[in-house]
Structure formats: C-alpha cells, structure tokens
C-alpha cells in the first residue's frame, strides 16, 4: 500500500511539472517576442528608420535581404515554435519575418 501511495505521488508530481513546463514555454516565448519587438524598435529609432512590422513568412516569398539584424533563438520545446528574423532590404527598410523552427528538445539527439 505504501509503494502504491508513493508511486501515485511521483506520478502526480511528474504530470504537474509537465503542465508547468508547457505554460512556462508559452510565457518564455511571449516575453522573448516582446523583448525582440522593443529591441528592433530601439534599433530602428537609433538608425532613423521606422520600426518594422511583423509579417508571416510564406513558402516561396521573394526576400531581399542585405543585412540580417536579429534572429530570435528557438525556445526549449519538442515541437515547432515561432521565431523571428529582422533584416534590412536593399532600400534600407527594416523587415521582420515570423516563421517556424524546430524547438530545442532534449529528446531529439542533441
């Protein structure tokens, strides 16, 4: 009976940690994107340019990338997660693309 109680306690703890990790990843992503937008707005103001608008990347888009300004790193997750790249095009305009990358997962062999 004692073994059953301990096993049930361990299982409950593992499930609750999993739920906290999932919610924590969402908060981490939101905070990272918020910081990225602020940093890119500051970069734009410092260089006398308007802040870039975030656009969703579509396969086959024609991109005019002259200089990559910033790329957000992937968060810890075992599934695709959003990431952003801010770049300058040949006219000097700042652009930000949001796209999917594979999250950093301990189970993917890395």
CATH of the domain at 94: 2.30.140.50
Domain count, the chain: 1
In a 10 Å sphere around its CB, with 0-12 CB exposed, 13-18 middle and 19+ buried, how is residue 37 labelled? middle
| 87 close to 69: Cβ distance less than 8 angstroms | yes
Instruction: Tell me which residue range forms the domain holding 28.
Output: 2-102
* 2 has pLDDT over 50: yes
In a domain, 109, yes or no: no
pLDDT, one tens digit per residue, over 48-104 is 998 888 899 999 999 999 999 989 887 788 888 888 999 999 999 999 999 998 888
In a domain, 107, yes or no: no
The C-alpha atoms of residue 29 and residue 66 are separated, in whole angstroms, by 27
pLDDT, one tens digit per residue, over 7-30 is 444 444 555 444 444 455 677 777
Supply the pTM of this predicted model: 0.66
| Three-class secondary structure assignment of the chain | CHHHHHHHHHHHHHHHHHHHHHHHHHHHHHHHHHHHHHHHHHHHHHCCCCCCCEEECCCCCCCCCCEEEEECCCCECCCEEEEEEEEECCCCCEEEEEEEEECECCCCCC
In a domain, 110, yes or no: no
pLDDT number for residue 58: 94
């Amino acid at each position: 009976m004692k073994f059953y109680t301990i096993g049930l306690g361990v299982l409950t703890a593992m499930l609750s940690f999993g739920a906290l990790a999932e919610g924590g990843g969402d908060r981490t992503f939101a905070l990272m994107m918020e910081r990225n937008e602020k940093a890119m707005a500051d970069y734009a103001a410092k260089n006398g340019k308007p802040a870039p608008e975030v656009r969703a990347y579509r396969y086959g888009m024609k991109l005019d990338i002259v200089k990559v300004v910033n790329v957000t790193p992937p968060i810890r997750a075992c599934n695709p997660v959003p990431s952003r790249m801010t770049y300058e095009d040949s006219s000097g305009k700042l652009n930000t693309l949001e796209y999917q990358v594979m999250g950093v997962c301990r189970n993917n062999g890395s």
